[in-house]
Amino acid sequence: MKSHRHLIVSAAAVILALLMTGSMCLSAFAESSSTIKARIDELKRQEAAISEQKKEAREQREANESEILDLVDQKNEIDQQLMLTHSAIETKNELIREYNLLIAEKQNELGDAISARDALNEQYRQRIRAMEENGKLSYWSILFRASSFSDLLDRVEMINEIARADSKMIERLQESAQQIEAVRQELAAEKVEMEEAKEALAAEEAEMETQRVEADNLMAELMEDHEKYAEIESKFEEEREALLKQIAAEQTKYKQAVAAESSAGSVSSAGLSWPCSARAITSPFGTRRDPFTGVTTTHSGIDIGASYGSPIYACASGTVTAATYNSIFGYHVRINHGNGFLTLYGHMIRYTVHEGQQVQRGELIGYVGSTGKSTAPHLHLTLYCNGSLVNPLNYLPSGWYYA
């Protein structure tokens, strides 16, 4: 008897442990789905933040590229100006060399003219000196030696002719020397102008060379920044791709957790359970654009994106009030659950119950199809509460998501 009682107690303990385990599993499933959903939301927030950072990095990189292109144009202009300035300096150097040659040539001509003038002066002085030494002749003595008035006139004319010839020759030589000196001075002045222009060009060249060096340094900085922005953008893209993969993996886990919760028979506080294993809401309750007419209408329930042929279960126990077909919902079932709740399951490929049948929560009532006014396989679920249409999502267990 004692042994039998021990077996009973042991069995009870096992059963209790199983029940507790089942309860813990249900709790774990619920906690898992909500935890996973929160994690997915956080990952999406991180992905959005990284996408924004990547966008900012891309904008910075594009702005940097624009600066680089502008700087390249600026450097090209500086290089062209440097080349032109250098050519101008070389031209000035050539001109200065030519001026030096011309000035030297004029200096030689001036020396020759001055030498000729000095030689003529010396010749004139020597002639006068010889006349004085040979007879102590003078201008008056030549005149007084005239034998007649006619001879006097001839002597005067001869003296005047000699004086005029010497004077003209000296005058021409002096004028020639002055002209040569004027040309030499003009060439020297032009040479000074050329040298000043050359110095100005050299200063301009030095300034442009400084600008070119500064542009080269700035180009190096911009290229370094460009590599940095590209690296940052690439890093953000890698992080974003990793997050997207993680989100996809978490969404798979979430769907699996939701499916597991469904199979565990989770029930909302309103006493309803999910009518199928899918949780993706493809069209919510309320105002929407009709997929056939495009006109804004009121959607009487929710569309759940279940696959073709998926089983459909009763959300709660009740009586089947209709199992029929019409052009709107196709093959569909209506169940009165009491307590003011009534559900409708539309677009079935077929139903497995009949009017007046009593069904239990979770009992098979049909299969997902696309009959009636439908564009693709899905389950349409309508919920009435005390005769009024209500949003089923407010009365069903959590774990759904918008597809």
Query: What confidence score (pLDDT) does residue 139 get?
Result: 53
Query: What confidence score (pLDDT) does residue 4 get?
Result: 37
DSSP character string of 144-171: HT-SSHHHHHHHHHHHHHHHHHHHHHHH
Taking the CA atoms of residue 323, residue 325, residue 331 and residue 334 in that order, the dihedral angle to the nearest 10 degrees is -40
Residue ranges of domains in the chain: 71-229, 280-402
Distance CA 362, CA 346 (A): 17
* Tens-binned pLDDT, residue by residue, of the chain (403 aa): 334 333 333 433 433 333 333 333 333 333 356 777 788 888 888 888 988 988 888 888 888 888 888 878 887 887 887 788 778 778 878 877 877 877 777 678 777 777 776 777 777 666 666 555 554 445 555 556 656 666 666 666 666 676 677 677 777 767 777 877 787 787 778 778 878 877 887 887 788 788 778 878 887 888 888 888 888 888 988 988 998 888 888 887 776 665 555 544 578 889 899 999 899 999 999 998 888 878 888 999 999 999 999 999 999 999 999 999 999 999 999 999 999 999 999 999 999 999 999 999 889 999 999 999 999 999 999 999 999 999 999 999 988 999 8
Classify 386 as helix, strand or coil: coil
pTM of this structure: 0.40
271 phi, psi to nearest 5 deg: 85, 20
Query: What confidence score (pLDDT) does residue 163 get?
Result: 66
Q: Which two tokens stand for residue 125?
A: 């002085």
CA 120, 121, 125, 131 dihedral sign is positive
380 phi, psi to nearest 5 deg: -95, 125
Query: What confidence score (pLDDT) does residue 31 get?
Result: 38
The CATH number given to 280-402 is 2.70.70.10
Query: What confidence score (pLDDT) does residue 333 get?
Result: 98
Q: From 1.25.40, 3.40.50, 1.10.287, 1.10.3470, which CATH number describes the 71-229 domain?
A: 1.10.287
Query: What confidence score (pLDDT) does residue 390 get?
Result: 97
